[in-house]
Chains A and B, each alone.
Chain A
Amino acid sequence: MYVYNDFDETFVRTRVAQFRGQVERRIDGSLTEDEFKPLRLMNGLYLQLHAYMLRVAVPYGTLNPAQMRQLAMIADRWDKGYGHFTTRQNIQYNWPKLGDVPDMLEALADVGMHAIQTSGNTIRNVTADHFAGAAADEIEDPRAIAELLRQWSTDHPEFQFLPRKFKIAVTGAAADRAVTRAHDIGLVVVRNDAGEVGYQVIVGGGLGRTPMVGKVLRDFVSKADLLPYVEAIVSVYNLLGRRDNKYKARIKITLHENGIETIRDLVEDRFNAIRAGFGGYDQTLLAEIEKSFAPPAFVTKATDGYEAARLANPAFRSWTDTNLSAHKAAGYAIVSISIKKHGATPGDATSDQMRVMAELADRYGHGELRISHEQNVILPHVHQSDLPAVYAALRKADLATANIGLASDIIACPGMDYCALATARSIPIAQQIATRFDELKIEHDVGPLKIKISGCINACGHHHVGHIGILGLDRAGVENYQITLGGDGSEMTTIGERAGPGFSADDIVPAIERLVTGYLDLRRDPSETFLQTYRRLGLAPFKTLLYPSEDKADAA
């Protein structure tokens, strides 16, 4: 894993000291809120409904155990003993006191972390496939390039005041686990005909008010050209992007309004103009970074114990069926720890749970942890022979829910329980849906199903790419939930279709239940997933499930 060098360390410490001074001046009255707000946002500090919120970047979702333990310490010392993992692979603290934030940032700096550029119209935390470096289907670990992008984008003087926020995601495999097509820039590691590793560059994806699927700007950019090429894109956007209307300021609109050919030509011109200026230094840096992402020393051990445990313990077997993914090394598995216990808040982990996960990473996971954009925690490298022990420890910590990829593995933004921008609550809806599916005991039969909930049109909960998406709105002073169907965040990214009128908070859970139980009757056989069935049949039969009384009214 990458470890801060002297430059990173000095930069982050200097920023903490600056922010400490800014907080002091805000508290003593020498800075007004209008003056202070852009400064606190640059350092990830928001003011929400009930308190401040500190958003800490987890670069490309990678943590080591010491960092996870520090996150737990921060939660205990300055918050309420828990943290919320988000869809940008960040962690948010919901209750910090203004005067404590500089100390929290100092504690983060102690383990090579920060909250810089987790807000504002800048390049945000670069996200990556949470199985990076472990996935069996991966061409190359995307984290080295993600780290290079982090270093390049952090405090980049040209890109501190972009027209709007800018999000980059990288994935190393064809199976897109990083939603790259819903990012301002999505990078997919590919091989060209000559067998060289490079990147497919996708631009102009995004969810929010105007959801759009990204378009391929270039099929192949070599590793050596990537940084100047990405800089050229952001540079073109910086000049061309609209600043007159914040709802039209994202690059997806710039692309839509100017056309991809125009953008492509401008980017190529800019790329040719700046390419020489990089002088190869970025490649020297990248080579250094790549060393720190060398794979761990995988071991060879017998796996008989694992097979025996699977046979002996049905609960363990069920967990291995849902929560494990294929690893590139023989005898290893990728463990997804569900932070989605039925009825709990999606993405929340207590400090005790964080410490347990850190301990497991130390003992059984080659010292690595990942945060997924689906708000779960990953142990990327666990030998199969250690899985029974890992499972037993997770069970003790209330972390052994076997629901990864199932109906109760719901993404939910904080919604109006915390967020000042929200128009309705998300968390209680997620809690109720998960609880209901647990009561029905059908989610394993239902199979892969992604339900995603956002509490406002900004779509932090990725509802547009949920197989079932739920958007919470304020309709005449009452919470109302709109359903979209058929969305997909994979390499086949699709924006979901709006199903019809919204539902009240009381009616939304029964509506989702009708959809899912109804799907069981619609599917061709148990192997046809909800999304496949939707693609085969279209909206109509699902609409009938959602609005049965209207059908009767029509018939009458």
Chain B
Amino acid sequence: MPPRFTPKVVTANALLDGDAVWLTEDDHWSPLMSRAELITDEAHADLRLLQAKARASEIAGAYLADARLGADGPEPVHFREAFRTRGPSNYPHGKQVETPPQT
């Protein structure tokens, strides 16, 4: 039996400011991971990644990241992805202070 597929989100950096963004179900790039589409099917994940990569004028460096369903939506599994939802730990910079617009 193939190993169980770990749910994924499609994530990237916004082209203009490099901010971490996540692909939503309705094809927007959200600065909030909780708004991302949580993908539980491997074939669908591959397809969504291809679609994301095609949007070259909006983002750079799209990839699939492990995620799990939390109270408000998808949450990071790995600490690297958790840092991307917040910003650096040495200064109050990035998402932790720049409340992103509700997109």
Contacts and interface: CB of A to CB of B under 8 A. Distances in A.
Q: Do A and B bind each other?
A: yes
B18 interface: yes
What's the interface size class on A, roughly?
20 to 34
Interface string B9-48: 0000101111110000000000000000000000000000
A479 B60 contact: no
Nearest to B20: A50
Contact of A50 (B57, B61, B90, B94): B94
A80 interface: yes
Contacts of A174: none
A29 B20 contact: no
Contacts of B90: 345, 417, 427-428, 431
Contacts of B77: 477
A94 B93 CA distance: 10
A156 B21 CA distance: 38
B89 A425 contact: yes
Contact of B79 (A26, A37, A48, A479): A479
Interface in A479-499: 479
A98 B17 contact: yes
B89 A50 contact: no
Contact of A427 (B17, B57, B61, B89): B89
B68 interface: no
A107 interface: no
Contacts of A166: none
Contacts of A50: 18-20, 84, 87-88, 93-95
Given A49-B20, A98-B16, A478 B87 contact: no
Interface in B55-90: 56-57, 60-61, 77-80, 83-84, 87-90
Interface residues of B, number: 25
A318 B51 CA distance: 61
B56 A33 contact: yes
A27 B95 contact: no
A47 B80 contact: no
Contact of A47 (B60, B91, B94): B60
Nearest to B84: A49
A530 interface: no
Contacts of A32: 56
A94 to B, nearest CB: 8
A416 interface: yes
A48 B56 contact: no
Contacts of A19: none
A431 B89 CA distance: 11
Interface string A25-66: 011110011000100000000011111100000000000000
Nearest to A37: B60
A265 to B, nearest CB: 44
B44 to A, nearest CB: 23
Contact of B61 (A47, A80, A418): A47
Contacts of B94: 50-51
With most chain B CB atoms within 10 A of its CB, the pick from A27, A99, A425, A474 is A425
A95 B93 contact: yes
A29 B57 contact: yes
Contacts of B13: 47, 51
A417 B79 contact: no
Nearest to B78: A477
Contacts of B17: 51-52, 97-98
A428 B84 CA distance: 16
B33 to A, nearest CB: 13
A416 B80 contact: yes
A49 B83 contact: yes
A49 B56 CA distance: 18
Contacts of A479: 79
Interface in A454-509: 474, 477-479
A80 B79 CA distance: 25
Contacts of B78: 477
A98 B83 contact: no
B15 A26 contact: yes
Contact of A417 (B16, B61, B89): B89
A417 B18 contact: no
B79 A33 contact: no
Contacts of A48: 18
Contacts of A47: 13, 18, 60-61
Nearest to A343: B90
Nearest to B87: A50
Contact of A51 (B18, B61, B80): B18
B95 A28 contact: no
A461 to B, nearest CB: 15
A97 B19 CA distance: 10
Interface in A350-392: none
B89 A52 contact: no
A277 B93 CA distance: 53
A28 B19 contact: no
Nearest to A346: B90
B85 to A, nearest CB: 10
> Which of B19, B93, B95 is the most central at the interface, judged by chain A CB atoms within 10 Å of its CB?
B93
14 contacts: A29-B56, A32-B56, A33-B61, A47-B18, A50-B19, A50-B93, A50-B94, A50-B95, A97-B18, A98-B15, A98-B17, A417-B83, A417-B90, A427-B88
Interface of A: 26-29, 32-33, 37, 47-52, 80, 94-95, 97-99, 345, 416-418, 425, 427-428, 431, 474, 477-479
Interface of B: 13, 15-20, 56-57, 60-61, 77-80, 83-84, 87-91, 93-95
The 4 closest A-B pairs by CB, nearest first: A29-B57, A417-B88, A51-B18, A52-B18
Given A51-B19, A474-B79, A474-B80, 13 more contacts: A47-B61, A50-B18, A50-B84, A50-B87, A50-B93, A80-B91, A98-B15, A417-B83, A417-B89, A418-B88, A425-B89, A427-B89, A428-B89
